[in-house]
Amino acid sequence: MLLGAHESISGGWHKAFGFAAEDGCESLQVFTKNQNQWREPMPNDADVAKWKKAWEASKVKGVVSHDSYLINPGSPDDVLFEKSWQALVTEVERCNLLGIPFVVIHPGSHMGRGEDAGIARVARGLSEVHARTPASGCRVALETTAGQGTNLGHRFEHLAELIRKTKGGDRLAVCYDTCHTYAAGYDITSQAAYDKTWKEFDRVVGLDRLVAFHVNDSRKGLGSRVDRHERMGEGMMGLEPFRLLVNDRRFADTIAVLETPPVDKDDRGYIKGLKILRSLVGKKKI
């Protein structure tokens, strides 16, 4: 796996590669804008040049973006729905300028209208995004969710339906969040459970759609439907599922980023979390 972390772009988009170097990242996830604002800054030519130069000089082999938390392409509110897919268009365009191949998005929430209506709404928004960005080199990656509240994406079938119903659905990819899927009821904490879950994912969605992982432990239990990330090895999942993941040859070249908080107050970034993951490589058991 290409192990890395979600890093800040404070001080400029290109600064993320400096933080990635400090933490020893082989992959990188960023917000390309303030995730809690609708404002949509675009990098100019100088910004793009700095970004590309920093990337070329780094040891980072893969980069993904994460969309704004404000975006809800499943919203039944017409104003928020329009703002959401338009913001996602801008995110795809921004990533295209920076050469980022994937933007990870939460599939959205149906806000009480039901899963079928929510999925149809999200597919409509994603279809608009594809229509407005036909030549973009950036693809949308649907993130698996915990299913908290009215959130969509906690069943593999949701992802498959979105791919099927979205115009240009062949452009859609998937990001597998280990905490979210565990909370949604998909177990990977033993070899048998791990094999069963991946067989199910491949049957319903297809392993060829999987382009990235969020590697997070879970503060809550299997099937809790509660989204609470925990530090590596300190949650309900333990280290075994991560040992299985980092030694799975199918995912040898797949981006895998930590989003969890540092292991302790002396760790500014993700150094210790990544060290734990790398210590599992080649291990036959915990």
**pLDDT at 84 (0 to 100):** 95
* 14-42 per-position pLDDT tens digit: 999 999 999 999 999 999 998 888 888 99
Q: What percent of the chain has pLDDT over 90?
A: 91
pTM of the entire predicted model: 0.96
**pLDDT at 24 (0 to 100):** 94
If one compares 37 and 114, the residue with the highest pLDDT of the two is 114
If one compares 120 and 272, the residue with the highest pLDDT of the two is 120
264: which 2 tokens? 């302790």
Q: Kindly list the structural domains of the chain, giving each domain's residue range(s) and its CATH number in brackets, ordered by start.
A: 2-36+52-279 (3.20.20.150)
How far apart are alpha carbons 35 and 204 in whole angstroms? 31
As a 3-state breakdown, the chain gives helix, strand, coil percent values, each rounded to 5, of 40, 15, 45
How far apart are alpha carbons 239 and 93 in whole angstroms? 38
**pLDDT at 266 (0 to 100):** 62
**pLDDT at 263 (0 to 100):** 59
Residue 261's pLDDT band, with cuts at 50, 70 and 90, is low
Average pLDDT, the chain: 95
* 129-181 per-position pLDDT tens digit: 999 999 999 999 999 999 999 999 999 999 999 999 999 999 999 999 999 99
What are φ and ψ of residue 214, in 5° steps? -105, 115
Helix or strand (DSSP H, E) at 91:
helix 78-98
Nearest to 233 by CA among 269, 265, 277, 180: 277
134: which 2 tokens? 């036909």
**pLDDT at 285 (0 to 100):** 86
261: which 2 tokens? 């908080």
Residue pointed to by tokens 């565990």: 182
Give how far Cα 85 sits from Cα of 27, 80, 151, Å.
Answer: 27, 9, 17
Give how far Cα 149 sits from Cα of 83, 112, 208, 220, 224, Å.
Answer: 22, 9, 29, 15, 11
Radius of gyration of the chain (CA): 18
**pLDDT at 35 (0 to 100):** 83
Task: Judge contact between 146 and 183, C-beta under 8 A.
Answer: yes
**pLDDT at 39 (0 to 100):** 87
First to last CA, the chain: 18
Helix or strand (DSSP H, E) at 129:
helix 115-132
* 193-242 per-position pLDDT tens digit: 999 999 999 999 999 999 999 999 999 999 999 999 998 889 999 999 99
Residue 260's pLDDT band, with cuts at 50, 70 and 90, is confident
**pLDDT at 169 (0 to 100):** 97
- The mean pLDDT value for 93-107 works out to 97
